[in-house]
Amino acid sequence: MTETRHSDALVVGAGIAGLMAALKLVPAKVTVLAKTRLGKGAATDWAQGGIAAAIGKDDSPGLHAIDTQRAGAGINDATIVEILTRDAPARIEELLALGAAFDRTDAGELALGREAAHQRRRIVKAGGDATGHEILKTLIEAVRAHPSIEIVENVTADDAILESGRVCGVRAHDNADGRAIDFLAGAVVFATGGIGRLYRYTTNPVQATGDGIAMAARAGAVLADMEFVQFHPTALSIGRDPMPLVTEAVRGEGAILVNDLGERFMLAAHPDAELAPRDVVARAIFEQQQRGRSVGLDARAAIGERFPHEFPTVFRFCMEAGIDPRLENIPVSPAAHYHMGGIAVDEWGRTSLPGLWACGETSATGVHGANRLASNSLLEALVYGLRVAKDIQSFAIAAPGGSVAFAGEPASSQAQAGESQATADLRNVMYANVGLVRHEQGLREALRRIAELEAEFPRAANELRNLLVVGKLITEAALARRESRGSHYRTDYPQPDEALAKRSFTRLRSVA
């Protein structure tokens, strides 16, 4: 018999967005579902760069908004951009009040870094390149201090539960024994993170399998901007999966990109060279690789002996691989890093389904447009985690009392033989055909392969099942957008089309 648990609010996901939402929902009875042990498996923990906030004397939310919209290639939601940049300084102050240990100057002020496409130094960091870890630690301590918040670890959400069309919970399973558990609540928040596992090369944790998007899609939710996947230009290319990140802040401090012939190629690619928007830098590196060249990040002159102190996480990854960034170039390659698309939400994080809110990377607020500005992701998670909680508190939360139904067919509790290889095949197809450079033939080939895998594994376990749903949605959206814009680049439509300077919205055409 399936176990059933009740709470006022249910938060699915325990990264920065989910924990902030849970914290701000107090004193309501809140249940937080974590796919792994709390503090592990969340992309927040791996975030190196920092949080963007206009707190410098020469900065303003208006300038931050301009940079955000420029990076977004003309399709950002201006209202959401204004909310994000306006609220940023207050969210930093809130983290400081909770005890977050951000880096400071000798004078005691917050040390502000600069990253690509930012006009000003506005990146708040911790531990040089361990910002996400510090924020996650701070929020975990705050959440654990509230007795009204229950953390349920090592459970995976399978599907939304609906009552008369309203989302009222999720069916999940215990990762250890496969036991099914129904978590019911008056309000449900999806904060399940991104989709990086969909691609052969990614900086995301293995848990980033698009769970929230897939569950919402099967329940009939509207999705937005699915075609826009950001590839970080400088993942550490040492054969690891996932690939360690080499934070953009290294380039912000003056490191340059060179190929194996010693040529600095970014000067010819963009006026801002290494500090160009991420999609530009990533494609320039990819183009070098297509020519048979390897690419390295040269930080010797710009950072040199300061590297261990200023970027200890990157330094440790490099040294573990036998690379000393003080003396040699760091081998880098583009890798799937962030999804601008996801579950469509309004300015309060409400989805198209009653009872369901979404925040963090699993949502699509429209703030990032076609290409996220560096260090706006942690910021968006903080801003929207709070806004979702505020909105939920404005409703009278009522626990479900009628008959409930599941969205989609139940997933298999155990992976079948061949699913691991099928997942690898899907990841290879997506990186090759729906990655940094796309065209119609490759996109249709990807859809054909996805359809084959769906037919071969009709009752796939969660990882493959969700990746197939999300892969199909991204590929279909990329096929429909016949232009190049931001992170979406098509060789058969290499220019932006002003008629298409708008966001895209879709629903899953068929339930997986």
Closest C-alpha to 180, from 410, 2, 414, 32: 2
**Alpha carbon separation from 309 to 24, 208, 236, 248, 400 (Å, rounded):** 35, 30, 19, 16, 53
- Per the annotation, the verdict on 507 as an active-site residue is no
Tell me what percent of the chain is helix, strand and coil, each rounded to the nearest 5: 35, 20, 45
Closest C-alpha to 180, from 207, 195, 159, 162: 159
**Alpha carbon separation from 400 to 119, 161, 404 (Å, rounded):** 49, 10, 8
Q: Which of 114, 278, 387, 481 is catalytic?
A: 278
CA angle 177, 181, 187 (to 5 degrees): 145
Strands, E assignment, 205-322? 223-224, 229-236, 256-259, 295-298
**Phi and psi at residue 451, in whole multiples of 5°?**
-60, -40
**Alpha carbon separation from 15 to 40, 141, 359 (Å, rounded):** 9, 13, 10
Instruction: Give the three-state DSSP class for 400.
Output: coil
**Using CA atoms, how far apart are residues 337 and 334, in angstroms rounded to an integer?**
9
Name the DSSP letter for residue 394. Answer: T
Strand (E) or helix (H) holding 377:
helix 377-393
Q: Which CB contacts under 8 angstroms, 24+ apart, belong to 441-445?
A: 443/475, 443/478, 443/479, 444/479
Residues 6 or more apart in contact with residue 133 via CB below 8 angstroms:
45, 46, 47, 126, 127
Residues 6 or more apart in contact with residue 306 via CB below 8 angstroms:
none
Question: Which residues are marked as active site?
Answer: 278
